Structure 1
Amino acid sequence: MKKVYCIGELLIDFVAENQGSDLAKANVFTKKAGGAPANVACAIAKLGGLSKFIGCVGQDQFGSFLLAILKDNHVDISLAQRSKYFTTIAFVSIAEDGERDFVFSRGADRKLKYDSSIKNSFQDNMVHFGAATALLGGDLEAAYGRYFFDALTQNSFISFDPNFRGDLWKGEEDTFIKKCMPFVQKAHLCKFSLEEARLLSGKTDLEECCAVLHEIGTQVITITLGGEGTLLSTKKTKHTIPSIPVNPVDTTGAGDAFIGCLLYQIANLHDPIEILKDTGPLIDMVKKANKAGALTTTNFGAIPSLPNLKQLNATE
């Protein structure tokens, strides 16, 4: 089994309780662990995979809480760093349909320092780049770029999820697109939401979105479509793969559960890059990953809702 290195933010989600979708009216919040790359690392580990988290939290009680959560979920945190800056916080509200509204207060996640000793560990393993805060400048973006170069030179299987957050990029969408392009160009696998696929391709029709994104360079595209399932696209074939019916209460972490489950399955292959030569098995993999994403929406909080292998197989 290959190791999957997940690079990016780990943060505190303060989730508004019983307040609808308006953060301005919320006055009761519950503390939960969050951050897309950290969620992916937990999704992989809860299924029995080998995941390592690379990110930074504060030298405060929130930082200790977050690292303990990852460790409890069997994620290797030996590469995590700590900073004198406060742990990053996100305030989240959840509407009746499970959709989310965010306000970020950035702190330690941006202080991740590049560690050159990690480079050789990437050799023939897998590296997942989650970009929610990683392209916002600072030490994190610099380290992110250098780890990307390391992954390219060490024969790593590279996965990219842009994790676009509109509140973080208002008026700067073109900058976000430009910064994503090298990852879209070189990644073996890209996971997009419908919004992200349209934003990065400049198209609205899904066929045209995929054509543009493949032309840029990525070899395998998954576009998550909520209850409609996932579009799996390669340069030769396209399949819309249905999910299982659920009653969603919180969509937080659903996309992370999806890509985590997909990466877990690919990591079990002798040579993950071989999946690019024969993408037939990806259809079954995406079908299972859809289930992981759907199950995650049936409870509140991302990490506690991520399914383990027994729960995932029980839906078959």
Structure 2
Amino acid sequence: MEEEMEEERMNRGKMGNQDEDISDLLPRGKEELRKAAALLLAQQTSLEVIVNMCCSEDPSDDEWEETSSSDESEACADGVGEGGLQSPLCLSAEVYSALIHHNVPQKVLKKAEFPRPAAVDACQRNASWRSLIRKMHRVQCRALTCLHNILAAMDTESLGGTAGLQTVAQQLASLVFSSAEVVKEEEFLEAVTSALRSLLQIMASKNIPQCMSPQQLMSVCEAATRCDVVSVRVNALAILGITGSTLAKETGSSDTLQMIGTALLSVASKDPNLVVCGEALDALFDVFADGDEAEKAARNIRLLTSLKALQPVFKAKSCVRRAEGTTARSSCVCWTTSR
């Protein structure tokens, strides 16, 4: 009897191994490719899960339209308490501790880097492996989106304090300015401008010096404002507003403020999307809100006259928007996880 039971267990084990073994279904020579694709998909899905974990509920369209870069400044200022920057959502203590304990922010930042050249070259040499290059870049974009939400959900000290945020800024700068081609990818632009916007907002609220020059930021924003994706253009304008409002406090910044103001006025008058135009106006109000340098720059670009000239343009765009019944897109990024 015992021998029969042992034989039955062995047979069940063999059947179980056969059920789990899918090697016969794989084309010859494709097993490594499928494993690599499965690994990248797993990384992408994991990042999407973290994105959703660190994302607050979507605001309504009306609430989103009323949100401006100045509102974000007030929100960040209000969120600074005894324990540092407060999360806009209530992550449970267990989840928060797990993210910190397992160094998730640092690992996400690592995934936000460009794929290693050796890996890309290896994929380029084999036609069947070239599809992995796109998958690697998709993981990078998901990591940047994840970084954007993590920055909004965690306090500054958990991210390494001032030194940690400056390191993140330097790494984002290296991503953007390492190649002129990267700013042409819409998916990358959307992800990196979202991360930059969150990072610069936090650094501004903490009076942390920025690691990117205004000229570098302008080059990113110029590329972004030519992008067809509305959220990319909105992010770019918010970045200019944050940068300009910070520079307005510094002596000798009027020339840079003029450059930023001219760019914002151009977008406010020419962009066909009302939400983008509204963000440009919000950024203008932030940049030229106060300070001697801001007043000097405003006079040089004839800001008041230009704003008066924009009034009929905005009225016309408002009428078109009401007629079309268009809705704005939420700035909170969530992903439906891949299956």
Whose helix fraction is larger, Structure 1's or Structure 2's?
A: 2
Please report the TM-score for the alignment, with normalisation by the length of structure 1: 0.33
Higher RCO by CA contacts (8 Å cutoff, separation 6 or greater) = 2
Whose strand fraction is larger, Structure 1's or Structure 2's?
A: 1
Rg bigger for which structure?
Answer: 2
Please report the TM-score for the alignment, with normalisation by the length of structure 2: 0.31
